[in-house]
């Protein structure tokens, strides 16, 4: 399942569980500032949809720790209540730990959140938060992936971080939040892709994801 006119991919779907990893360590490309890590084995992971809502009076921040450094996302709870509640639930269940950025398009987006690393994996359920009509997908904004056939604002677990000044996308993708710290890490990851194939040129793993509320 793919989305994005012309530059296709960002997708979702579902899945179960496997805990095995490959034993070899993938060396980091030279001069990237990224550590070599073991390549996670593709997995199928299912989760139940969350029942609890997030407190709109609080600020929720998700931090993604990768082998290329960490960056933090302040969640858009008021704009996307269902999307953010789902993402926090997935983080707390360690859904994202041991997943990779499977799609990196230099000067456009970096995409992760698929435990199968195929571009078609997800948690087994969908949420919908239609973004505001005036939404602009600019550098550092984080949004959720969907297929072209799905309604605006549909999402599972796959997310993308915009690395372009303006990605030029229509307001179809649920807004998760914005990167509030660790932009150098985002830039570092954004360079590790082949613009023709949209595939990573180096392994970037989300080693752990955490959430804080205040």
Sorting pLDDT into bands at 50, 70 and 90, what band is 32? Answer: confident
What span, in angstroms and rounded, lies between the C-alpha atoms of 164 and 1? 23
Query: Which residue shows structure tokens 């999307």?
Result: 83
Distance from the Cα of residue 63 to its chain's centroid: 12
pLDDT of residue 39: 87
32 touches 204 (CB < 8 A): no
Output the pTM of the full model: 0.86
Ranges of each domain in the chain: 58-213
CB atoms within 10 A of CB 156: 28
Across 35-47, average pLDDT: 89
Q: What is the pLDDT of residues 57-98, one digit of tens each?
A: 999 999 999 999 999 999 999 999 999 999 999 999 999 999
- For residue 169, the model assigns a pLDDT of 97
Percent of the chain exceeding pLDDT 70 equals: 86
The residue behind tokens 């269902």 is 82
Helix (H) or strand (E) holding 82: helix 81-92
How far is 190 from 116, CA to CA, in rounded Å?
Answer: 21
Q: For the domain made up of 58-213, give the CATH fold.
A: Cyclophilin (2.40.100)
103-157 pLDDT tens trace: 999 999 999 999 999 999 999 999 999 999 999 999 999 999 999 999 999 999 9
């Amino acid at each position: 399942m793919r989305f994005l006119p012309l530059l296709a991919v960002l997708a979702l779907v579902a899945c179960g569980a496997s805990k095995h990893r490959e034993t070899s360590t993938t060396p980091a490309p030279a001069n990237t500032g990224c550590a070599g890590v073991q390549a996670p084995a593709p997995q199928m992971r299912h989760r139940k949809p969350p029942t609890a809502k997030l407190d709109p009076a609080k600020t929720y921040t998700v931090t993604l720790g990768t082998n290329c450094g960490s960056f933090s996302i302040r969640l858009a709870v008021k704009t996307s209540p269902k999307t953010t509640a789902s993402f926090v639930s997935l983080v707390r269940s360690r859904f994202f730990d041991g997943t990779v950025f499977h799609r990196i398009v230099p000067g456009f987006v970096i995409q992760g959140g698929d435990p199968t690393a195929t571009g078609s994996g997800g948690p087994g359920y969908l949420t919908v938060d239609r973004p505001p009509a005036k939404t602009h997908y600019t550098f550092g904004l984080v949004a959720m992936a969907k297929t072209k056939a799905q309604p605006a604002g549909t999402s599972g677990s796959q997310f993308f971080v915009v690395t372009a000044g303006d990605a030029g996308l229509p307001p179809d993708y649920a807004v998760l939040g914005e990167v509030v710290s660790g932009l150098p890490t985002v830039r570092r990851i954004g360079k590790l892709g082949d613009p023709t194939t949209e595939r990573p040129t180096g392994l970037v793993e989300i080693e752990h994801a955490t959430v804080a509320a205040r």
